[in-house]
């Protein structure tokens, strides 16, 4: 998803405190995966993690100042969750794959518009059918933030500056894991709409876009090291947010609103703090 979205941002959330005091935020409220896909399809959840949790995994944090109105709205949205295990909803790996498929449709649109349209339609249908609700609070990270701030997004805003997967990728390890993970939730509580939309997306990418599948396999392999806390390395400072290419056909979809589950961290950055983003200093 990072490659398709055009930034190094892989997570998003809402800065909070967990006590009743005032002052700078100390925690990030976000939908976060905490285990590997093999241990359960929806894992982690909406949780409150200290900033130090991310710094301890050699991740850096950046913040965007929000207006008082948006800040109050987001904090009010979070009151429906409890920062305790098993009471905070769940993280949806399914939606992480779905938003990547939606971004892949953006990349394919200039070259293969027919496949791009079908892929976007399949991803949109999954995102709508699996919409997070109070009774089923299963989120992908940027989806939670989009719901909390209440800002609608359009299909045109899905177009990144420049990046992509390209063709002819050869990353085939863990293919069995990905197939099992993607197929595990097709039958979810007897809901035929959810099952049908996910099966349609699953079938489309496996039959017509093996480059996407192979890249997803490799990304799943690498992400496991992040989830296990074994990643070390220098912090990557984000480049300034560039404009998408003016001739990209996706920019014409300005009137097509998308489900919150297709929103990305880059889209949040562009909408709320294109020029205001700043690094959170370690205390």
Residue 173 is predicted with a pLDDT of 35
Residue 35 is predicted with a pLDDT of 55
Residue 167 is predicted with a pLDDT of 57
pLDDT tens digits for 71-130? 999 999 998 887 665 567 777 777 888 888 899 899 889 988 998 999 999 999 989 998
> Whole-prediction pTM value?
0.78
Residue 212 is predicted with a pLDDT of 74
Alpha carbons 138 and 208: distance in angstroms, whole number: 28
Q: For residues 160 and 185, which has the higher predicted lDDT (pLDDT)? A: 160
Average of pLDDT values for 63-72?
93
Residue 174, pLDDT > 50, answer no
Alpha carbons 124 and 144: distance in angstroms, whole number: 17
Alpha carbons 265 and 239: distance in angstroms, whole number: 14
Alpha carbons 282 and 51: distance in angstroms, whole number: 8
Q: For residues 201 and 181, which has the higher predicted lDDT (pLDDT)? A: 201
pLDDT category of residue 177 using cuts at 50, 70 and 90: very low
Average of pLDDT values for 9-34?
84
Alpha carbons 78 and 65: distance in angstroms, whole number: 18
Please list the alpha-helical segments (H only) found in the chain: 2-5, 51-55, 68-78, 93-108, 113-129, 141-149, 175-183, 192-208, 210-227, 265-272
CA-CA-CA-CA dihedral for 185, 151, 253, 193, to nearest 10: 20
Average of pLDDT values for 155-170?
73
Alpha carbons 75 and 27: distance in angstroms, whole number: 13
Residue 30, pLDDT > 70, answer yes
Torsion sign across C-alpha atoms 20, 25, 31, 32: negative
Residue 245, pLDDT > 70, answer yes
Residue 148 is predicted with a pLDDT of 95
CA-CA-CA-CA dihedral for 143, 149, 152, 156, to nearest 10: -70
Q: Which two tokens stand for residue 50?
A: 């200290």
Average of pLDDT values for 40-52?
72
Q: Which residues contact 124 (CB under 8 A, 6 or more apart)?
A: 102, 258, 259, 262
Residue 138 is predicted with a pLDDT of 82
The residue among 142, 178, 136 whose CA lies nearest residue 258 is 142
Alpha carbons 190 and 164: distance in angstroms, whole number: 36
The residue among 147, 135, 120, 117 whose CA lies nearest residue 261 is 147
Torsion sign across C-alpha atoms 175, 177, 183, 185: negative
Mean pLDDT across the chain, nearest whole number? Answer: 78
Residue 179, pLDDT > 60, answer no
Residue 216 is predicted with a pLDDT of 64
């Amino acid at each position: 998803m990072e490659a398709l979205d055009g930034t190094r941002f892989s997570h998003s959330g809402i800065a909070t405190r967990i006590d009743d005091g005032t002052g700078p935020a100390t925690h990030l409220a976000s939908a976060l995966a905490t285990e590997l896909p093999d241990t359960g399809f929806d894992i982690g959840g909406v949780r409150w993690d200290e900033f130090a949790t991310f710094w301890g995994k050699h991740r850096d944090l950046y913040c965007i100042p929000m207006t008082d109105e948006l800040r109050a709205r987001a904090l009010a949205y979070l009151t429906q969750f409890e920062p305790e295990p098993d009471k905070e909803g769940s993280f949806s790996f399914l939606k992480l794959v779905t938003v990547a498929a939606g971004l892949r449709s953006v990349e394919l649109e200039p070259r293969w518009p027919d496949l791009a349209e079908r892929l976007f339609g399949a991803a949109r249908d999954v995102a709508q059918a699996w919409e997070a609700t109070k009774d089923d609070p299963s989120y992908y990270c940027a989806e939670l933030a989009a719901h909390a701030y209440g800002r609608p997004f359009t299909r045109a805003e899905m177009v990144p500056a420049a990046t992509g997967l390209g063709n002819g990728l050869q990353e085939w390890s863990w293919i069995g894991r990905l197939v099992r993970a993607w197929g595990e939730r097709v039958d979810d509580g007897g809901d035929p709409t959810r099952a049908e939309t996910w099966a349609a997306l699953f079938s489309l990418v496996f039959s017509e876009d093996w480059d996407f599948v192979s890249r997803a396999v490799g990304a799943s392999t690498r992400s496991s090291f992040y989830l296990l806390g074994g990643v070390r390395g220098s912090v990557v400072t984000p480049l300034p947010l560039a404009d998408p290419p003016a001739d990209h056909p996706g920019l014409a979809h300005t009137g097509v609103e998308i489900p919150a589950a297709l929103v990305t961290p880059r889209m949040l950055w562009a909408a709320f703090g294109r020029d205001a983003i700043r690094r959170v200093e370690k205390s």
